Each structure stands twice: as C-alpha cells, then as structure tokens.
Amino acid sequence: MRRLFRRVRALPLRSRLALLVAAAVAFAVTAAAVACWFVVKSVLVSSLDEALKANRMSKDQVSQYVNLRSGQCAHDPVTHEKNPLGSSVQLVDGTGGSCLIIGTEEVPLTDADHAVAEGRATDALHDAKGADGAQYRVYTYSVLPELGVAASAARPLNEVNRSLSDLALVLVFVAGAGVVGAGAAGLWVARTGLRPVDELTRAVEHVARTEDLAIRIPVEDDSEDEIARLSRSFNSMTSSLASSRDLQQQLIADAGHELRTPLTSLRTNIELLTRSEETGRPIPEADRKALLASVKAQMTELAALIGDLQELSRPDTGQHEGRTRILAWHEVVQSALRRARLRGPELTITADVEPWYVRAEPAALERAVVNILDNAVKFSPESGTVDVRLADGVLTVRDHGPGIPAEELPHVFDRFWRSPSARALPGSGLGLSIVARTVQQAGGVVSLTPAEDGGGGTVATVRLPGAPVPPPETTATGGGQR
C-alpha cells in the first residue's frame, strides 16, 4: 500500500487529479449500483410475494383435492401445464405430512410451514431450495384450520434472478463507462483548471532565466477563484520587485552622482597639495589652509552621505521593530537642539518643549529631529530665528528663511531631490527622506508647509502617537527602557 501511495505521489498533478476524480466517481457509481441492485431485488421479491398472496386457494378449491375426513390428497396433482400460476402447491397437515396437489416439484417444508399448519402462525413467507437445486419463494397459509391443514405455494425465483443478473450486467457496464468517462473528464478538467498554473510556472521560469520582471499573467477582472488570486499575487509581486529594482538602480545612480562631486573635489585638492610638494613650490599659507579646510569639509560631507545611504539601505519594515522602545521625545528634541545651536551659533533658537513619550528607535528618531533642525539652520538668514515647539505629540520647527515654492513641496521628501536654490549649499538631498522614513516607521506623519503668519519661512510638522506620561513599566532616562 505504501508503495502504491508513493507511486501515486510521483505522478504529475493533473494525473493525480484525474485519478482522484475517477476513484471518487467509481466509488459513488459502485455504491449507487449496489444500492440499486438491492432495491430492485426487494421490489421484485415483494411483487412475487404479492402475486402469491393474491392467488391464495380457498377452502372450496382445496376441498376437491383432500379427503375432509382423513385430510389426505384425494386426486393426482395438477401439472404445471394446467396450472396458470406456474407455482407448486402442496398441503401440509399438523402431523408433518404433506401432499402435492399442484405442480410436479415438492419443495422441502420448514418449521415455519408446520407452525402454520399447527395453528401457531397465520402465514409464513421464506425462500427454499428444491430437490432440483432451484430457488423458490414459498408462501404458506392456513386453509382448513379445523383439520390442521395449510397450503404452501412455491414459485421459482429464476425469473427474479434472471432479471437481477441482467440488471447487474447493465450496472457493471454503466459503472465502467462512468468511471472511464469520469477519468477522461477529470483529466480534461485538470488540464483546463491547471492551465493558469502552467502559465504561472512558465512565467516564473522566464523570470528566473531572464530576470525580466515586466511579465504579467492575464487575469479576468471578475474572477475570484484561487488561481486568479494566485495570478494577481504573482503580478503584484513582480510589479513590486520591478519597482524595487528600479528604485535600487535609481538610488545607486543618484548615490554615484552625489559621491562623484565630493570625491572629485577631494581629488583636485589633494593633487594640488601633492604637486606643490613634488615641485618644491609651496602653496601660500592662506591658500594651503583653504585647501585643507575644503578637504576636511568634503570628507565630512562624504561621511555624512555614506551614513545617509546606510540609513536608507535598511529595510523599511520588520528589522527596526526589534530596536524600538519607549522614548522621552522631549529629551531627544532637547539633545538635537544642543547640536543645532552649535551648528548655528549666530541664530536664535527658541524652544517650548513639553513632555511626550513615544515608541521609536532612539538613534533614528534623534537623527530625524537633527535633520529637521539642520534644514532650518541651513536656510535661516544670518541672525535669524528658529522656533521649536513640542506639545501634545506635535513637533513644529519654523524658520524664517526664503521658504519653499509650492511646486517644489511635493518633492521635498524624495531621495536625492534638492531645490535648485539649494544645490550650491552642502547636503546630499537625503535628510528629509530619512525623516519621512523614520516618522512613518514610528507610526506618525511629517509635512512641510509655508508659514502662514506673514513672516515667511517654512514650518516642519511631525506628529507621533504617544502619551504625556510614560507607561508604568518604563522609566525615561535619556530614552532608555528599564
């Protein structure tokens, strides 16, 4: 049996489906055929019983064949040629004796027949086997109860058995044809139903062979079966993979472009310094200091760019969840404010920070706040003011710089996007995209809008879910968790 199951499992899926359908139909047809055979047999036997009961002999009919005083047969039995019923009838007395009055074949009597003759039962129906080996249906009933005489009529079952044999042949033929037809239909259904799976298999093999993610499997719009859902899922997966690959290629291209600028500047400055050493013509001290300052600035910009690329290369979801914890956001903002005041000592940075606790990744959230403040410091005029406020989970950073044109607002959170007016300033165009990513991972929203109080500038707004007090099991100590 195990070997058979292993062989079945080794068959192709469509063959297994066809075999399964054929087996199920064979079982159903066989069960129906057996039930039909037994029902027909019961109906035929019942019909035969009704015929035997309907042709019961009366007391007067029996009297001519029996001596009423002795209870013995008085005449020779009537043969089948003269018997329109085609049955044998014999009389049974209470002492166990019997005589044949109709027919030529005596059927062996049973205890049930003697019980009727003795008056212990009114009638009896049963099967019996004659001396010739034929099967008979026997009906025994009382006709002369005062003499203890009963009549036992027997009809051969060959007509019933013949009909049942013919029916069995028909049922076997029909069942066989049904199984063969079911197997063929199952194979057709399997081929038709698995055609989308074959298309999906060919599509996957094509993607694996050519890395072409543009392939799509056609799906009917109104189809909602499992195959259609699988095809839609495959199309969605390949579309997502294609989009991810395009974004990856765009990120690599943009990163290469952004890296080229500081690297080129570094190379130029280092070549100038090297050439002055090789030629023995020293560069003036002021120019040398300027070159070294430029090298340092480019190295700082390069390091910042590499850090931004590393941040963006992390998965958007999943892995960061293990690093999140309850943070005191107000302490993160205050830490970022200290760094911002160092980078813009000539600016006036006002702060109104109220306690607020959020669940986020500490380093990522601080970096996001620093990026927002750096952006405000970068675009603020000399001796300008930056207003920072944190209340009810909403952080607003308002600068008084030139602001952002309305047509550029939809692009401010795109990777490597930089305003034409800001391309001369240091930066990689990744800061705000990192902010948007971090805030989204923390379950919040971020936006940049023009200031509406008439003073010009831009307002950066970050909303994060949380509470003004920490949960009971945590204690805020610089964003840590106890």
Q: Please write the tens of the pLDDT for every residue from 345-390.
A: 888 899 999 999 999 888 888 888 988 898 888 888 888 899 999 9
**pLDDT band at 71, cuts 50/70/90?**
very low
**pLDDT band at 321, cuts 50/70/90?**
low
d(CA 210, CA 329): 49
**pLDDT band at 231, cuts 50/70/90?**
confident
| Same domain flag for 168 and 242 | no
Sign of the CA dihedral 253, 255, 257, 259? negative
Sheet holding 149-156, edge to edge: 98-102, 88-93, 149-156, 135-144, 123-129
- The residue ranges of DSSP E strands in 59-171, in sequence order, are 88-93, 98-102, 123-129, 135-144, 149-156
Contact 368, 480 (CB under 8 A): no
Instruction: Report the pLDDT averaged over residues 455-468.
Output: 87
| Same domain flag for 160 and 286 | no
Q: What is the pLDDT of residue 481?
A: 39
**pLDDT band at 331, cuts 50/70/90?**
very high
Amino acid (one-letter) located at 332: V
Greater pLDDT, 209 or 431: 209
d(CA 47, CA 108): 23
| Same domain flag for 283 and 354 | no
Lowest mean pLDDT among 132-136, 338-342, 368-372: 132-136
pLDDT value at 296 more than 50: yes
Q: How crowded is residue 329: how many other Cβ atoms within 10 Å of its Cβ?
A: 27
| Same domain flag for 276 and 230 | yes
Q: Indicate the residue among 258, 280, 313 that finishes a domain.
A: 313
Instruction: Report the pLDDT averaged over residues 209-218.
Output: 78
d(CA 443, CA 209): 39
241-268 burial, b if ≥16 CB within 10 A, otherwise e?
A: eeeeeeeeeebeebbeebbeebeebbee
Greater pLDDT, 194 or 24: 24
Q: What is the pLDDT of residue 77?
A: 57
**pLDDT band at 6, cuts 50/70/90?**
low
**pLDDT band at 132, cuts 50/70/90?**
confident
Cα diameter, the chain:
164
d(CA 390, CA 405): 26
Tell me the CA end-to-end span of the chain in Å, nearest whole number. Answer: 61
Mean pLDDT estimate for the chain: 78
| Same domain flag for 27 and 154 | yes
Q: What is the pLDDT of residue 478?
A: 44
| Same domain flag for 127 and 160 | yes
The answer to the question of residue 220 being in a domain is no
Total count of domains within the chain: 3
The answer to the question of residue 473 being in a domain is no
- Phi (first) and psi of residue 375, to 5 degrees: -65, -40
> Residue 291, exposed/middle/buried by CB under 10 A (0-12, 13-18, 19+)?
middle
d(CA 308, CA 348): 28
Q: Which two tokens stand for residue 246?
A: 């395009």
**pLDDT band at 482, cuts 50/70/90?**
very low
- Phi (first) and psi of residue 396, to 5 degrees: -120, 135
Query: Among residues of the chain, what percentage have pLDDT more than 70?
Result: 79
d(CA 333, CA 351): 9
Length of the chain: 482
| Same domain flag for 184 and 257 | no
User: Model-level pTM greater than 0.75?
Assistant: no
Contact 474, 481 (CB under 8 A): yes
| Same domain flag for 381 and 433 | yes
